[in-house]
Amino acid sequence: MQNKVNFTESEQAFLLKAEQYCSTSEQCCSSVREKLLNWGASRDLTERITLSLVDNGYIDEERYCRIYCDSKLHLQKWGRLKIAYQLRGKRINNVVIEKAIQEIDEELYRETLVKLAENKMHTIKEDDPRKRKAKLMSYLASHGFTHEEIENTINEILTNKQ
């Protein structure tokens, strides 16, 4: 449903710039608000433009979250915890975040965690197995994987090595 909001000529320039910004890459409301304020738009105008962009499909936070989850898993090798934390920092509704997190492909997620763990294991220069495991666990936790996911993965890797 497209709402037709009336903007003055000077406000139209901000709207057009925001539409172009949203057309080049997927954006969330908070990043668009931040851009508009940096460009010199008032808070009131920023809110009206943001609502217009949502109404007209330029901003869709569910779509944004799905794309964000996929890209952070594929490119940065982040786990669900870190992805959700970063999305919360963008002031996205928790229900939208949880829905996107649930849609992450489980098989791809596990493969990513296993590859990340295996690659890191080869680079840890530590003779003591406990310290080695602790360093690996710390590294994987910093990527946003849960303690349980990390434990299961390390045990799986060590079992397969024997």
- Please report the domains of the chain, with CATH numbers, ordered by start residue: 9-59 (1.10.10), 62-102 (no CATH), 106-161 (1.10.10)
Q: What is the pLDDT of residues 19-64, one digit of tens each?
A: 999 999 999 999 999 999 999 999 999 999 999 999 999 999 999 9
Q: What is the pLDDT of residue 4?
A: 59
Binning the chain into helix, strand and coil, the percentages to the nearest 5 are: 75, 0, 25
Q: What is the pLDDT of residues 89-126, one digit of tens each?
A: 999 999 999 999 999 999 999 999 999 999 999 999 99
Contact 72, 116 (CB under 8 A): no
Dist. CA 22–CA 36, nearest whole Å: 12
Please determine, for residue 160, whether its predicted confidence score (pLDDT) is greater than 90: no
Nearest Cα neighbor of 117 from 143, 82, 90, 94 is 143
Q: How many residues are there in the chain?
A: 162
